[in-house]
């Protein structure tokens, strides 16, 4: 009897602990349903516009990753006008690309990323394709003038994977030049640039380090008044690549970066959806406010995207919104507008 009481007390205490205020990042994950019917969006990239572009201020690419199923890790798009509610584009209820023959862990898509070319007024989506049967890795690109009708895919980069990799390319278009930061073999973050997004040059390893011994994995980069700002997930060893924290760094030239510091950790010791690790995340800065859309993983290897925000990247506000609840969403939208004033 006493043992049963102790068990009940322990379970109740754990439940209370899990849902105490401040014990979460984004208490619930975003309500984003892929063309495959899952809600396990992963590897986001968000773009914001001063004015609506083809009807929407915010555009996001992502790859579904339900329980680590790489056959579904294909580029998708969603849009928003309020940063909180996201939905598919009219006429697009599918992945933008799927491999002709997916072979688990051998042939798969991954790491989608969208870029806006202001000179040509077009959206571009890049993604990585791995073919370990042939030992090759590719970065593909498609372009669109409206976000609905897309060009055929073309090869932006390719190489033998044993010699080179192009993990999590983070690309911006600035002053007529594409600038890319990507992870190569040895967990090194590199930089390269291109005039057309297809022919890349000036490749170099960036000066980037942590205060502890960890290894970079997936990054996103934006241009701001500080120069360039990066968020990147890192791990202490490959066996812990599902248990990562999110780090932040900034740079004036894109090559020499400040020491990376932790800005977000998983909610370990809870029952929440991101209790195991943080994954590739994306961010924007608007009216002095950072909005971080982060990938999260739980102990059962389910995935999703959460939202935290704030004027201080090192002190981001948690959100406790049920994104399936319209009333909750409206309240968060009001809070966000108030924060941006």
Q: What is the pLDDT of residues 131-174, one digit of tens each?
A: 999 999 999 999 999 999 999 999 999 999 989 999 999 999 99
DSSP 153: P
Q: What is the pLDDT of residues 174-227, one digit of tens each?
A: 999 999 999 999 999 999 999 999 999 999 999 999 999 999 999 999 999 999
In which residue are the tokens 């572009």 written?
Answer: 53
Rounded to an integer, the average pLDDT of 233-247 is 96
pTM: 0.93
The count of domains in the chain is 1
Q: What is the pLDDT of residues 173-186, one digit of tens each?
A: 999 999 999 999 99
**Which segments within the chain are labelled E, that is strand?**
41-53, 56-64, 76-80, 107-117, 122-131, 136-144, 154-160, 167-174, 177-184, 188-194, 200-205, 215-224, 227-235, 245-251, 261-264, 277-286, 289-297, 303-310
Distance of CA 114 to the CA centre of its chain: 11
Q: What is the pLDDT of residues 307-327, one digit of tens each?
A: 999 999 999 999 999 999 999
Strand, coil or helix: 9? helix
Q: What is the pLDDT of residues 26-84, one digit of tens each?
A: 999 999 999 999 999 999 999 999 999 999 999 999 999 999 999 999 999 999 999 99
Q: Closest Cα to residue 230, out of 313, 305, 308, 339?
A: 313
Residue 13 backbone phi and psi in degrees, to 5: -65, -40
Cα separation of 155 and 66, whole Å? 27
Output the domain CATH number for residue 144: 2.115.10.20
Q: Is the pLDDT of residue 99 over 70?
A: yes
Looking at per-residue pLDDT, the higher value among 17 and 265 belongs to 265
Residue 260: beta bridge partners? 210
Residue 65 belongs to what domain range? Answer: 2-339
Tell me the pLDDT of the chain averaged across its residues.
93
């Amino acid at each position: 009897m006493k043992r049963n009481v102790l068990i009940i007390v322990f379970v109740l205490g754990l439940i209370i602990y899990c849902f105490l205020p401040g014990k979460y990042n984004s208490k619930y994950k975003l309500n984003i349903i892929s063309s495959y019917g899952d809600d396990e969006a992963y590897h986001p990239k968000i773009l914001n516009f001063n004015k609506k572009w083809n009807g929407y201020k915010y555009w996001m690419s992502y790859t579904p990753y339900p329980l680590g199923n790489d056959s579904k890790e294909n580029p998708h798009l969603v849009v928003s006008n309020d940063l909180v509610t996201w939905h598919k584009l009219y006429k697009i209820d599918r992945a933008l690309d799927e491999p002709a023959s997916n072979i688990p862990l051998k042939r798969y898509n991954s790491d989608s990323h969208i870029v806006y070319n202001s000179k040509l007024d077009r959206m571009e989506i890049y993604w990585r394709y791995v073919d370990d049967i042939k030992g090759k890795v590719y970065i593909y690109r498609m372009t669109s003038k409206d976000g609905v009708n897309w060009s055929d895919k073309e090869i932006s980069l390719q190489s033998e994977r044993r010699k080179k990799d192009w993990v999590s390319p983070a690309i911006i278009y600035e002053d007529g030049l594409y600038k890319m930061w990507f992870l190569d073999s040895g967990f090194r973050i590199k930089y390269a640039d291109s005039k057309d997004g297809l022919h890349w040059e000036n490749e170099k390893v960036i000066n980037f380090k942590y205060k502890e011994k960890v290894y970079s994995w997936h990054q996103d980069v934006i241009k701001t008044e500080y120069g360039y700002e990066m968020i990147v997930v890192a791990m202490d060893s490959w066996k812990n690549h599902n248990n990562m924290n999110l780090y932040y760094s900034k740079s004036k030239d894109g090559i020499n970066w400040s020491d990376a510091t932790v800005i977000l950790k998983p909610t370990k010791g809870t029952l929440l959806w991101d209790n195991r690790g943080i994954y590739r995340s994306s961010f924007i800065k608007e009216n002095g406010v950072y909005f971080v859309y982060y990938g999260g993983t739980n102990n059962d290897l389910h995935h999703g995207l959460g939202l935290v925000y704030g004027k201080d990247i090192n002190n981001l506000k948690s959100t406790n919104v049920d994104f399936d609840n319209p009333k909750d969403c409206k309240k968060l939208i009001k809070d966000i507008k108030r924060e941006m004033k």
